[in-house]
Amino acid sequence: MIGVIAKFPIVRSLLSHNYEGLRMIMLESAQRWKWWGAISLLASSCCALQVVLNFFSLGCAGFNTVLGPLRPPLLAMAFALQTTAWMEIRAQPLLWRKTLVGSLLTITLSLLPECLHLLSKFRSRLASTPSSSPDLVFNLKSSIGCSSCEVKVQSTVLSHPLALSCEVSEGLASVYLKPDASPANTSGTRGELCSLLSAAGFAPE
């Protein structure tokens, strides 16, 4: 395509003179077909879709494994579109409401993995986690691959009455039990937590 433009000056001149018109058409199309939302969803490695899957206990779909390496360019594309949109506000002030909604949607979807990661860390700090080693550790490396899954695993573990706190990092779920949990109950608790995690779509190895 670039070679054709360079070879034919007429084509290059035509594109140069119609650049502004083409840019406006692309911007209006982006608003009409919600490209902002689609690009933002991809920029988050489809984190919002994984949240929905986790709500129905369907486990990790592996979106982050495929889309994770593409996040930097997709994030750059999403925020570049927003910058262009706000620059056009001077020429079309009536579009500011749509642009604001698009910006909020872009920020929310694009940074959803980071928000969920912070939520997971915040939950861990709220609980008075002992300084000793965890009572139980579950290997979930083959079934967990993103921040949304980490939050789901944490919520599932904390739903057990004897679970005090849960830290999920690098595919490992470290569980701290409440002080009133006797050592004799540890084995039974492990089995119950395995069942809960498996039902949520995250079977321990």
Structure confidence by residue, pLDDT tens digits, 139-193: 998 888 889 999 999 999 999 998 988 998 888 999 998 887 766 677 788 999 9
Whether residues 26 and 93 share a domain: the answer is yes
Last residue of a domain, one of 74, 93, 113: 113
* 162, part of any domain: yes
Last residue of a domain, one of 62, 82, 113: 113
Whether residues 141 and 108 share a domain: the answer is no
Whether residues 108 and 129 share a domain: the answer is no
Whether residues 14 and 85 share a domain: the answer is yes
- Token representation of residue 10: 């007429």
Domain total of the chain: 2
Give, as one character, the DSSP assignment of residue 44.
T
Structure confidence by residue, pLDDT tens digits, 43-94: 888 898 899 889 988 888 888 888 888 899 989 888 888 888 888 888 888 8
Q: 150 is in which domain, residue-wise? A: 114-199
Give the confidence band of 8 by pLDDT, cuts at 50, 70, 90: very low
SS3 137: strand
172 CB-near residues (< 8 Å, 6+ apart): 137, 138, 139, 140, 141
Query: Which of 80, 88, 68, 87 lies closest to 106, judged by CA?
Result: 80
Whether residues 66 and 121 share a domain: the answer is no
Whether residues 94 and 24 share a domain: the answer is yes
pLDDT at 170: 87
Query: Which of 49, 66, 67 lies closest to 58, judged by CA?
Result: 49
Whether residues 132 and 142 share a domain: the answer is yes
Whether residues 125 and 80 share a domain: the answer is no
Give, as one character, the DSSP assignment of residue 135.
S
Whether residues 68 and 153 share a domain: the answer is no
pLDDT at 196: 95
Mean pLDDT of the region 105-126: 87
Structure confidence by residue, pLDDT tens digits, 82-100: 888 888 888 888 878 888 8
Whether residues 125 and 69 share a domain: the answer is no
Question: Dihedral of CA 62/172/130/179: which sign?
Answer: positive
Last residue of a domain, one of 86, 113, 140: 113
